[in-house]
């Protein structure tokens, strides 16, 4: 029962925080989310590119 009360308290607190943000603060939060999403997307693509490059080097080494 206590865990339910704690969870409900955090949820209500978070909802109150979100509804109290101004337009400028929403824009700032949106910019932060887009920035983090861009970073993670670039990180993933670079990692995949590195995997492909390593496979090509291994394949080229086997053919030599």
User: What are the pLDDT tens digits along the chain (64 aa)?
Assistant: 678 889 999 999 988 888 888 989 989 999 999 999 999 999 999 999 999 999 999 998 787 6
Other Cβ atoms within 10 Å of 6 Cβ, number: 10
- Length of the chain equals 64
The whole-number pLDDT of residue 56 equals 93
Structure-token pair, residue 51: 């995997």
pTM tops 0.75: no
The whole-number pLDDT of residue 62 equals 80
The whole-number pLDDT of residue 1 equals 66
DSSP state of 2: H
């Amino acid at each position: 029962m206590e865990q339910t009360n704690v969870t409900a308290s955090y949820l209500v607190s978070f909802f109150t925080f979100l509804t109290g943000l101004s337009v400028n603060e929403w824009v700032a939060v949106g910019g932060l989310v887009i920035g983090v999403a861009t970073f993670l997307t670039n990180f993933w693509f670079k990692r995949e590119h590195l995997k492909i490059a390593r496979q090509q080097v291994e394949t080229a080494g086997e053919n030599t």
